[in-house]
Amino acid sequence: MSSVESQQEQSSQSDPSPSPNSCSSFELVDMDAGSLYEPVSPHWFYCKIIDSKETWIPFNSQDSQQLEEAYSSGKDYNRIVPTDGGRYDVHLGERMRYAVYWDELASEVRRCTWFYKGDKDNKYVPYSENFSQVLEETYMLAVTLDEWKKKLESPNREIIILHNPKLMVHYQPVAGSDEWGSAPAEQGRPRTVKRGVENISVDIHCGEPLQIDHLVFVVHGIGPACDLRFRSIVQCVNDFRSVSLNLLQTHFKKAQENQQIGRVEFLPVNWHSPLHSTGVDVDLQRITLPSINRLRHFTNDTILDVFFYNSPTYCQTIVDTVASEMNRIYILFLQRNPDFKGSVSIAGHSLGSLILFDILTNQKDSLGDTDSKKDLPSIFMDQGDTLTLEEDLKKLQLSEFFSIFEKEKIDKEALTLCTDKDLQEMGIPLGPRKKILNYFRTRKNSMGVNRPTLQSPAGANMSNIPKESEFYSSTNGLDVGIGQVPVKYPRLIYKPEIFFAFGSPIGMFLTVRGLKRIDPNYRFPTCKGFFNIYHPFDPVAYRIEPMVVPGVEFEPMLIPHHKGRKRMHLELREGLTRMSMDLKNNLLGSLRMAWKSFTRAPYPALQASETVEETEAEPESNSEKPSDVNTEQNPVPVKEEAPPIHVGMLNGGQRIDYVLQEKPIESFNEYLFALQSHLCYWESEDTVLLVLKEIYQTQGIFLDQPLQ
């Protein structure tokens, strides 16, 4: 047995997790020989399944350093190290990485020093920690003794040969080569072996700022996949977060250098999995036709989410899941970040934006109010009624049921919220249920509802004033009488600063529900801002501003390009449009001049009285005629200086609708890029920059250079 093989056998029999403080062969080399050898610098990786393949991804430099320090302390077995901005925890003893805020399969963690190139994707794969130590010790002996051509056998009987410091190869065994116990042959295409992470092609980020300025919850739309690559909400939000970190470095560089800002944390909220774990998929499978199986499965898993939200049963499940998840994550976030003093915002994509919109419209003004009457919308308050519930039941000759309501702690206000099913579960018969529901609903509708009154001066024209049902109440939530699903909306334990809607169908759903107009004075009870962001070719997106100002036609706000100015093809299009308008105006001016001179000189008898008056008011000199044409073109720039349009208080008096600039290739065929346009927001720098700009603007921090 050779010395290398003997050393390998002794190393394999040693402790698989040697303490970094223990004495190793690195310390036994004399100083003269060891001067040529430098220990390898380790880097930590984690394994993730991507496209059904194991992919090893490096931790950022900051996390890898923290993991190495914890490992070097010699007490790593029970150590838990937060990584990735606190979104994951690494259990060093288990060598496993766990997600903190959402459900995700745990991934293996490895301290890596030696790598070999894979066969298919040409990405480097780290060797195990034990075998990497064997490789490092063999490499050290080869360097110090200047003896190369070292051959090692890996645990899975693969051959690694160290020819020289720059040439090290890995041979895979050929099937059938060791049927009689012989050593595996050195055949097949060799793999490249590298020592140290600095010698392989891999991107290692520096890390994220520790300071968190703002927290944003992101709610997904229909289906489990959020983009064309069928990625989950977690993966898409990871991209959104990465884009935001890059933009903070480029567009908020001064604020970062002055340590005014850190970063914005984006956390995903998943409601699809809890909804489809209720057993509804099993029920649907029993009634689904066997033909076109994949398409029907896609429909059941994706498109039906819209119908689920319009069902009272599943709508209650969805809103409860979204609100409870945001509350749970918020509490957990504060526990892990006790120094956080920033605000919270929410963002929703597609149907997720509608869910958040309905939740926000049904919040209460005061989060700390415990008074039961103040906790209810004023529409349910009987302001002029002084009778108690017992007296009302006595009036209905149903006093025997008062003990049931008293046991369930139901008062008059709570009774107005009860449904027939609720009363049935309490054990109240059908006849008394109908009498109770009819009595309290009639009294609720007949009492004075606390809504804004539409007052007009005497003699004013009332025909143009919308009906009261066309408004959101300025003090109440959305009235279920206009078609909203009657569910009990949970309360959020915080007040969101801004609500961002991406590719949102809110306007369409409100219109389908029967709402024709939003009161310009209406605002969310607990949220100050609202931005409706969409791509111009998004087939699911609808505008909001025309519902606030229905009598005025105006364009949405154009979101600036993150590199400044407009996209080149849009500027070219506007330039050509402006040029054609100028040519048209000049042509019309020339024809008008020619017609006037023609009708004035040869045929004076044909001039009408209006023409005579017009020519008398105009100068007679032909040299002044071009100035007449120019004066007719002067009002064009005046129109551009029109006063800003007031679109109500839904966004604190600011504009609501914001449209992205399409890419040049997208402008060739709108239909071809329609689906992609609905899923483009996760990687859109323009969208992320608008979100960051509005968030930091509330803190008095602005872009380094305003975008035009």
Pairing of strands 43-50, 107-112: antiparallel
90 three-state secondary structure: strand
Cα–chain-centroid distance for residue 504? 12
At 14, list the tokens: 């040693």
Tell me the two tokens of residue 364. 């209460």
CA proximity to 220, closest of 305, 120, 129, 341: 305
Can you give 458-478 as a three-state secondary structure string? CCCCCCCCCCHHHCCCCCCCC
What phi and psi, each to the nearest 5 degrees, are found at residue 476? -110, 170
Q: What value does the CA radius of gyration of the chain take, rounded to a whole number of Å?
A: 36
Which string of b and e fits 375-402 if b means at least 16 CB within 10 Å?
Answer: eebebbbbeeeeeebeebbeeeebeebb
CA–CA dist 118, 235 (Å, integer): 24
The secondary structure of residue 174, as a DSSP letter, is: P
Q: Which residues participate in catalysis according to the annotation? A: 350
* CA 31 – CA 203 distance, rounded (Å): 35
Please state, in angstroms and as integers, the Cα–Cα distance from residue 544 to each residue in 288, 411, 499, 650, following that order.
37, 39, 14, 10
Q: What SS3 class is residue 280?
A: helix
Name residues whose C-beta falls within 8 Å of residue 424's C-beta, 6 or more positions apart in sequence: 430, 433
Look up residue 326 and give its two tokens. Answer: 């945001």
The pair of structure tokens assigned to 410 is: 């139901």
Q: CB under 8 Å to 531, separation ≥6 — which residues?
A: 498, 499, 500, 501, 651, 656, 658, 690, 694
Which runs of consecutive H residues, i.e. helices, occur in 223-337? 233-251, 253-257, 272-276, 280-287, 293-298, 304-309, 312-336
Distance, in Å, from the CA atom of 409 to the CA atom of 517, rounded to the nearest integer, reads 39
Q: DSSP letter for 109, please.
A: E
What whole-number distance in Å separates Cα of residue 66 and Cα of residue 89? 12
User: What string of DSSP letters covers 307-336?
Assistant: HHHTSHHHHHHHHHHHHHHHHHHHHHHHHH
> Could you write out the DSSP letters of every residue in 28-53?
GS-HHHHTT--PPPPEEEEEEEETTE
